[in-house]
Amino acid sequence: MSRYIDADKLYIAAMDTEFYDAADEDVVLELINQQPTADVQEVVRCKDCVYWQSKKVQMNDGTLRDCIRYK
């Protein structure tokens, strides 16, 4: 399974690391920059979703849900 990370934060962490040689730092930063970008989207959980309601909403099928997105 792939791990998706924030490359910008990794880049900053690498910049803050003390390397033995400046060439080592350049190699690490270049490796970070050469990595392909994954096509991913941030996951939004129900509690953080703009469609979440604190009260139940009646759906078209008669069920009650907290989500109004799939009405």
Q: What is the predicted pLDDT for the residue at 60?
A: 79
* pTM for this model (two decimals): 0.46
Find tokens 């096509």 and name the residue: 39
Q: Where are the domains of the chain?
A: 1-40, 41-71
Looking at residue 70, its pLDDT comes to 56
2: pLDDT confidence band, cut at 50, 70 and 90?
confident
Rounded to whole angstroms, how far apart are CA atoms 42 and 65? 23
Per residue in 15-52, pLDDT (tens digit) is 888 877 777 888 888 888 888 887 787 777 777 777 77
- Which whole-number Å values give the CA distances from 69 to 47, 52, 54, 61, in the listed order? 13, 8, 14, 14
Instruction: For residue 71, name the pLDDT band (cuts at 50, 70, 90).
Output: low
